[in-house]
Chains A and B, each alone.
Chain A
Amino acid sequence: MITYESILERAPKDADYLPLLEALYVRKRWITEPMLRSLDEPMLDEYLAEVASIWRVVKKMKNLPPEQAIEQLVGGLVFDSDSFLRLQIQFAKSGELKSKDFDAVNAAVYSSAEKMAHYLDGLLLTYIAWPNHYRLLRYYKEKYLAHGPYGHCLEIGPGHGWLALNQLLASPSNTLRGLDISPHSIAYTRGVLESAGIPAMVSGGGRYTLEIADCRKGLPSSTLPPGGKFDRVVIAEVIEHLDDPDTILESTVEHGHAETLYFITTTVNIEAIDHIYLFRSLQEVRDMMARCGLRIVDELDMPLQMKLKMEAEMFEVALVCKKK
């Protein structure tokens, strides 16, 4: 069984992320206990590489003394974990999402600088603190980023920017257009990409553009690449935040070609402060993809391991799709 001590033994003695590990696995053990249980010996090197990678970029982005940067990050993780658990416990009782109105969530969450700062710090850290999110990131790299075609990439809702950064690192051919309704998400993603040394597109060069955009009625024409078709599309942790996911999915299908590779994630019977669309089964997710013109070529279903008095199963789902 993996313990905090065994993680420390595997990490380089002079690694600058050791205080982050201490914060996660000693001070916030109530959050990271499931992560610890999910790790095994062969995974440790890859896991520590991810920790190092996130810490390297975020430390530079925050430009704070390390202990302050860790306090902010871990504070965000506590905010996300506490609010998620509370909402999920309520959901298990009611069977209904607390929020149903996009505009209300937009005003309360996406437009709030303070809330988004906590939220995005926490979400980024979940990739090394929540087992399903770490698994999702590995899946993204193995089943999506490792496969072409490479070229013009679109990401709707890049949020913390970590998937966007990995998309750009996956191939030098990749360029990215990121669209998000939250100015705070756009700023965070920009911070991550800049801190990782990826140049923004300016006249004739660079690799990404980021734009504040409401895509609920379709993609803005200003964001389309030459030829109007994207080679890669990422819509991760987005569709459950929309009242009409079909429209956005259909719009990306319209702007894809026969080989365009899609990466889409969502949740089934899972609540969060900004979830407004409830999938009650995995089949509902599959049906939505099919009716929007997408064919699932690979699927990862991750049950949520929570002891709740709830009959329906809870899943986080990741899909690799192509056009039908």
Chain B
Amino acid sequence: MLADFLIGLQNSLNPINILIMSLALAGGIAIGTLPGLSATMGVALLVPLTFGMEPSSGLLMLGAMYCGAIYGGANSAILINTPGTPSAVCTTFDGYPLTRKGRADEALFTALVSSVIGGIIGTIFLMFATQPLALISLKFGSPEYFWMAIFGLTIISSLSEGNMIKGLLGGVLGLLLATIGIDPVTGHNRFIFGFRPLVEGITVIPAMIGFFSFAQILSLVDEDQKYLASYTPNKGIVSKVIGQIFKKSKKNVFRSSLIGTFVGLLPGAGGNVASFVAYNETKRWAKNPEDFGKGEVNGIIASESSNNATVSSSLIPLLSLGIPGSPVAAVLLGGLLIHGLQPGAKLFIESGDIAYTFIIGLVVANLLMLFIGYFGMRLFAQVLNVPSHYIATIVIVLSVIGSYAIRNSLFDVVLMIVCGIVGFFALRVGFEPGPIVLGLILGSIAEEGFSLSLLMANAQGSMFGTFVARPISAFLIFMCIMAIVSPIYVRIKKSRKNKSLENA
């Protein structure tokens, strides 16, 4: 193993490989920044380019593209309130308010450093704990997925402080939208009301672009400000952000990276679920939960460190068991097979040098991202110096191409426009887009988990045994209860404390 490790280190520090990774990272960041263009698309586009390369160089390029694309989503989330990828939805909650306060560069650099730390922590687990973590991921059955989705949904209570009923309504409307299309159990159409294009369901990305991007453009036009926000580069941002992350937020970045690592290794989950769970936990344990959603850097740290931690951990089932747990992992599986590498238990024995080159390369790619992302961030921040009516028009064109590109479907463009118009008016009357998109993302996981668990329960003859009496399910149920009860407990404790202070 040590020999393979050293070969891996040597390969990933090879100047040619560093150049390849740098270019792939830059491309990945650009792809991630543009809404609608996904990491899967970026990695898939690069696979043919790896044909003529050494297997290790090809895999390093694919890994760097993956890292860059997941991080890139934060740039547009922070600057124009439009998440470039679904995993950057939570980054908008605090990133955009910071931009409005003239602290865009602080938000962007926080996202970058958090992404790098999350990515490295996730890769360390990939390096040293692949086998045990892969076995945990195998213990995740339908009931566990169902409870994990419910746990993710508990974040709605913390996303809807203005009006709890509207927040919950937004979440269940997202769940309801997710039920449109083909029934996962019977295969019949439902809730399409005679409109055939709805058979394919409401796709998350066009809906997300609508609710965030198009609705945001309408809000921008409504505000009629010359610029999106005032921006002048602030001095001392690097030391300020590093000080914040390593002194004040070290627990947060570590906890969120662990959440990302754990959620990422579950097939079908991914960066979006991880960032919602990490954001919720960070807010729950924070001393100032009321500041979240108004420009709290810890919100960005939680979201970005967790979603980038999923990059490496999502490869754990692939590399150790040969099971692609995410769409990107499926594309990478293709990349591995093209080079004659068979993922699974034998990968580390038969092609240990290449496997370790890939894993160590992910650490190197994350470190390179710190430099490339820093220069990119300076460039992207210039968007704020462009008059807002130019931005509005260009973002609409990019939203159209982004929505269309997912399935080559004009219906998705219509969906984006409708969600945008609904999202704009909903925002005006107190419905935040976050809970709706959260419901839409988690809806399919929750329903599939519930329906399959129900079938299991019928076969086993025990609802309790299937849904509750499983160790991971019981733990997740406990976490759900904690997530609901603890904010209420904290609120009561705070009001009692305030009352006693008033009486004194």
A complexed with B: no
Residues of B in contact with A (beta carbons under 8 Å apart): none
Residues of A in contact with B (beta carbons under 8 Å apart): none
